Amino acid sequence: MTIHVLEKAVIVKNGKAALSGADTLQETDLRIEGGIITEIGQDLSGSGKIVDAKGLWVFPGGIDPHVHFYDPGYTYKEDFFHGTSFAASGGITTVIDMPCTSLPPVTSARNLKEKLSVLREKAVIDFGLYGGVSSQVFESGYESAMEELSEGVLGFKCYALSGMESFGRVNHFQFLQILKKGADLGIPVLLHAEDADFVGYAAERMMREGNTPRHYYQSRPEIAEILAVETAIELTEQTGGDLHIVHIGTATAALKLEGTTRVTGETCPHYLAFSLEDFEEQGPLLKVAPVIKSAENKQGLWELLSKGTIDFVASDHAPGTEEEKSGENIWKNSSGIAGCGTMYPYLLSEGFLGGKLSLNRFLEIISENAAKRYGLFSRKGSLAAGKDADFVLINPEGVTTIEGARFLSRGKLTPFEGHVFNGEITGAWVRGEQVFSHKEGILTSPGSGKYLTRSV
């Protein structure tokens, strides 16, 4: 492994930069000092290392605000070094990790400290964390738990439906109180929104009828998301809370966000790219929760993403092993895919280059809006003077062929296997240091990534 030492000064020259609010790419240079962008302008000169971006695009590094890196505790599936390496290879320079899929879960200040002691030694890009409020935490004292976590997390995650015995779902009354407390602390609450009453009965019935992807879909179809999103929005409006709905896979559920003042939402590449028919064809590779749904949702989600109803995209990266993803009984297969390294290439190709997203809207979706949502925008989310020099170089004439065996993640299985995307990410920089090269791989050492907390 080649280790690149941070230069005192760097000038990125001859590229076309993607600046927030611009309708077109700008021929301009970037000056970087001490890891910070200090100047953006044409024909910049001076001492320091020159990064020649001739023929390339200079885009902000992506933010993936929803990953499960399973560290510590389930590192046979993923760990923070491999997860952040895979993210960097796909143009992501900041990730936010979920609280529920590690041991210990991030449900107390003590657990946060324990988890950080592990992650700080492994990350190659910058990262933030969410705290979690389960039914168990609620009953043992959610207010004190949220208070002690508030300085170190970017949001609080809850489940309206949970398959984890150790991280139970919260009911409507509990969620109402959590929303109130989140509002008092000035920190958003995140919700996995599927209706537990509907899914609980439907799953029992569908399990008796069969074990195919369609049976799994029928246990938690569109209406399960719609009911949960409607209820969550109403509870949020009643409390004056601040809510974010994660991984929305149903277009009608996402449409419920229109007109709300306190609720935002995200979707994922797999909901934009695949349908129930693909799930039936690929089987366990495409088992996720919420489930991949009928084909009309794809177009609807793209339209709502383009117009701004859906705020941004997240990967929900959660790889399973080959053993967990094999077998003919869909109920026994693990849920989740390896996605943080394919999200940026997919959205670049199918969104911006494919004409579904304007340049400005693409920038909002890939980095800007998530940075704003989670209190990172003073440092992250765009190419601007005074911000961290997090950027990627893109060859617009290149292509990206998805080959799971080459993923830097521990997870090598992907529903995008063999897909060819237009555009190629040739390098990624975090705070002025190059962390990834498409020719050399990871260029920095584990532990170079920085832990992020809210700045607003």
The torsion region of residue 59 among left (phi > 0), alpha (psi -120 to 50) and beta comes to beta
**How high is the pLDDT of residue 164?**
84
The torsion region of residue 141 among left (phi > 0), alpha (psi -120 to 50) and beta comes to left
Query: What is the token pair recorded at 122?
Result: 């492994």
Same CATH topology for 9-58+386-402+420-442 and 62-373: the answer is no
Residues 293, 90: Cα–Cα separation, whole Å = 26
Q: If you classify domain 62-373 with CATH, what class do you get?
A: alpha beta
Tell me which residue of 91, 90, 89, 92 sits closest to 66, measured CA to CA. Answer: 92
Sign of CA dihedral 421, 423, 424, 429: negative
DSSP E strands: which ranges in 296-443? 312-313, 391-401, 420-430, 433-437, 441-442
Residues 17, 12: Cα–Cα separation, whole Å = 10
Tell me the CATH number of domain 9-58+386-402+420-442, given options 3.40.250.10, 3.40.50.720, 2.30.40.10, 3.30.300.30. 2.30.40.10
- Say if strands 57-60 and 126-129 run parallel, antiparallel, or are unpaired: unpaired
Query: What is the token pair recorded at 294?
Result: 């009928």
Residues 315, 362: Cα–Cα separation, whole Å = 15
Residues 243, 257: Cα–Cα separation, whole Å = 11
Residues constituting the chain: 456
**How high is the pLDDT of residue 12?**
98
**How high is the pLDDT of residue 2?**
36
Question: Helix and strand tally (H, E) in the chain?
Answer: 14, 20
**How high is the pLDDT of residue 456?**
60
Distances, alpha carbon 318 to alpha carbons 98, 339, 440, in Å: 10, 7, 26
pLDDT averages per 10-residue partition of the chain, 456 residues: 54 97 95 97 92 98 98 98 98 98 96 98 98 96 98 97 89 98 98 98 98 98 98 95 98 96 96 98 97 98 98 98 95 97 98 98 98 98 98 98 98 98 98 98 98 89
Domain ranges of the chain: 9-58+386-402+420-442, 62-373
Residues 455 and 446 sit within 8 Å (Cβ to Cβ): no
Residues 351, 347: Cα–Cα separation, whole Å = 5
**How high is the pLDDT of residue 364?**
98
**How high is the pLDDT of residue 5?**
40
Does the predicted TM-score (pTM) go above 0.85? yes
φ/ψ (deg, to 5) at 76: -70, -20
Residues 38, 429: Cα–Cα separation, whole Å = 15
Residues 174 and 167 sit within 8 Å (Cβ to Cβ): no
Quickly tell me which residue has 């991949």 as its tokens: 292
DSSP category for residue 188: -
